[in-house]
Structure 1
Amino acid sequence: MHIRTARALRALSVVAAAGALILTAGCSGGLAGGGDSGSGSASGPIKLGMLAPFSGSESAFGNYMKNGAQLAIDEINADGGIDGRKLELEVQDDGCDATTAVAAANKLVTDGVVASVGGYCSGATLPTLPIFNEAKIPMVIPAANSNELVKQKLPGVFLINGTGTQQAASAVKYAQKSGAKTVAAVNDATAYSKDLADSFAQQAKDAGLTVDVNAVITPGENDYSAVATQLSGAKPDLVYWTGYYQEGGLIARQSKDAGFSGTFLVGDGSVDAKFAEIAGKGYTENVLGTFTQTPDMLKGADKWIADYKKLAGADPGPYSTQSYDAVKVVAEAMKTAKGTDFDGVVKALEGLKDFKTLAGPLTFMPDHTRSGGGFVIVSIDPSSGKFVLKDDLQG
């Protein structure tokens, strides 16, 4: 998500807020010792914190993440926990909003969490980094994947999801595989979207493709005829929309009405059944997406899906598996570290080698991103509007 950023937030303001919070985090309640609940001691439950969107435009993803994490916790607890201590999940709504996320992160610290397994929108996750860092709380982020998260170079930040650079590489790979010679990029100027579009444009140029358009739109509007006309006039073989499904569905529709007939590729922020609903019938035949695999796309995931449905009473969705994996990864690191000490857990995370996750073997690179992005190409099932696996980009 990852993806992701607050709707009205711009990359510059987010980075500035993150820097400012380094100065203010130490003044927030409970930051020095991670709370007084006892979860940071050698006994009692081990509290894991999760920030996710349960309100706002991206609220559909919050329960997927929470339930995925809870399923992993239930499995670990059923197996004896960590050195006999049970895990507990503390959840706070960040609304994909930076200000809300800061308050929610401080609440988790005050509540005594010893690790964070949340983070969906990059713009909302970014300003929480210095808060958790000041409190010596490691973060294993399941969804948010902007390169800005990596650029902070904080010791306790690890990304389960592939980065924007890796996602852009998958888009370029598909463009080449499909025979595209000319491409376009369109973003909404938010941290995640701009980062992904810029990376795609640069990698496309490096691969010998011609970038006809690199446009920016304002999110939250209803009329995108200007960019639709621009795409129709340039006639690129493939356009990569890197924002969210609300605007993406409208741009896909209006671009087709304007005469654009190429491939409309979207980033993971738009991979949701609501895209087809917004675009409308007859406007999604040329729509594809770059995404990490969802449970229904994974081989041998039938039991996991059944267990999730038993817990949640609903089918799993995007980032449920990544949140499940985040908990498993943190738990493994704590077992290796024989406790919840920040330095020990960070060292254990850095030392993971081909650790088994639903998304495949996990090894963290020196910059704390996962080796290989795991992105695939998905298309829209016309009968349901859901995105389904089209090309795993292997071979």
Structure 2
Amino acid sequence: MSTQPPQPALNLRPGSTDAVRLGVLVPLSRPGWAEAGRHLLTGLELAAHEVDAAGGIDGRPLELLVRDTAADPRRATAAVDELAALGAVALAGEYHSVVARAAANRAEALGLPFLCSSAVLNALTDGPADGVARLAPAQSHGWRLYADFLLDAGHRRIAVATEPSVYWATGARLLRDRLAPHGGGVTELDLRTLAPADVCDALAADGATALLLLAGHPDPVVPVVRAVRRDPRLTGLLLGAPAGQPEFAGWHALLGEDGAAVPFLRYLPERLGPLGTRVAADLRARLGSEPSFVAFEGHDTVTVLAEVLRSHGTERERIAAAWPHVTVEGTRGPIRFTRAPGTHVHQWTWPPVQIADRDPAEPGRFRILRTSG
């Protein structure tokens, strides 16, 4: 059982009750990826505690108004309306790309600034959005690096196990576009119609050298991994999960050795600096496990917003106008926002990117296979 680190005394203005409210969107229940949501929320809450311990926002405490999106875009949109009505000065968080897109469009329409923590879909909004910014890299950036990793390892014929989602479909298209000029191709296997045994049969017939898991965790991904690992026809087939599922403890708990050697994307530097190292220790104590990159994204989100609130004020219009002028030291390096082509929002270009996997000799340990940034 884990215990939280000691809580330092707050240094807020005497008698202050006028909290600065931040709306927070996180997936905390099924069908959302609740484990990722818990990591994201832990990072957000740790940073909010640190802000208050340092005096808050000009003496005012920071209050997080947390809403569970459960990976439901309609639920997220309703939460944005509610949080705006409750006086939130800005919106933070979200992990699932399709949900974040719905929230970002609604927040922009309401004039509520939104700093998206973890969603990567390139088109986070329908069009240019002045009030929306994002910490996670655009999908085209990270998945292009992943495709290059596959090409350098000699993989040209790729299969993807998918389920319907604009996020998964975009990922498959990005991979196909990157592989095609090098003579590569992508075969799509629809997990709505194929059982794990059917996936294995299709792979054996296709001759693909890698299968990428573009579907939800634990279902339907975990049964597919088990089936592939146990099929002697598929010995030597690379399993990959660019969306990052293997980083989480739940993956290791369910799959053990079967979940090792599955390369995934995560947004961390090769080595954390002093700030990142300190925050990692605090996150580890709160989570009771190794923090994922998602927890660092949560911490950086509140750190950035706190700096904006202190330097530009708490009015929504001033917060939205501040994104191009922000420079903040985050847990993973200096954070600045630009207008990256094709993203419509103010974007950190770019967070550091790793391709990593779990070590087959010690699945509780990660191996860094490639870094960028």
Report the equivalent of 2:94. 119
Q: Secondary structure at the match of 2:330?
A: coil
1:71-110, aligned counterparts within 5 Å?
A: 71-110=46-85
Q: Tell me the CA shift for residue 249 of structure 1.
A: 2.3
* C-alpha RMSD over aligned residues: 2.8
Aligned equivalents of 2:76 and 2:125: distance in 1? 18
Report the equivalent of 1:252. 225
Summarize deviations over 1:53-90 as a string: whole Å, max 9, x none. Answer: 11114111222222211211122222222223221111
1:195 aligns with 2:131: no
Summarize deviations over 1:131-152 as a string: whole Å, max 9, x none. Answer: 3223321111111111231444
Aligned equivalents of 1:182 and 1:325: distance in 2? 38
Contact persistence 2:35–2:250 (CA under 8 A):
no
Q: Secondary structure at the match of 2:266?
A: strand
Q: Tell me the CA shift for residue 103 of structure 1.
A: 2.8
In terms of fraction of residues, the more strand-rich structure is 2
1:162-241, aligned counterparts within 5 Å?
A: 162-206=137-181, 208-218=182-192, 223-241=195-213
Gaps of 5+ in 2: 1-16
Summarize deviations over 1:340-380 as a string: whole Å, max 9, x none. Answer: 22332222212234x32112222222142221253211212
Q: Secondary structure at the match of 1:173?
A: helix
Normalization by structure 1: what TM-score? 0.78
Contact persistence 2:244–2:264 (CA under 8 A):
no
Decide which of 132, 141, 149 is 1:157's aligned counterpart: 132
- Which residue type is aligned with residue 233 of structure 2? G
Decide which of 279, 283, 301 is 1:326's aligned counterpart: 301
> Percent identity at matched positions?
21
Normalization by structure 2: what TM-score? 0.83
- Which residue type is aligned with residue 350 of structure 2? G
Figure out how many residues of one structure are paired with residues of the other and give that number.
347
Summarize deviations over 1:225-258 as a string: whole Å, max 9, x none. Answer: 3333222222223332222232222222323416
- Which residue type is aligned with residue 237 of structure 1? T
Q: Tell me the CA shift for residue 168 of structure 1.
A: 1.1
Q: 1:184 to 1:67 in 2, by over 3 A?
A: same
Decide which of 262, 265, 275 is 2:251's aligned counterpart: 275
Q: 1:384 to 1:91 in 2, by over 3 A?
A: farther
1:128-143, aligned counterparts within 5 Å?
A: 128-143=103-118
Q: Tell me the CA shift for residue 183 of structure 1.
A: 2.6
Report the equivalent of 1:293. 268
1:348 aligns with 2:334: no
Report the equivalent of 1:4. none
Contact persistence 2:175–2:186 (CA under 8 A):
no
Summarize deviations over 1:274-313 as a string: whole Å, max 9, x none. Answer: 33444x455334422122239x973544422333355566
Contact persistence 2:131–2:321 (CA under 8 A):
no
Q: 1:130 to 1:199 in 2, by over 3 A?
A: same
1:54 aligns with 2:28: yes
Q: 1:314 to 1:181 in 2, by over 3 A?
A: closer
Aligned equivalents of 2:224 and 2:91: distance in 1? 36
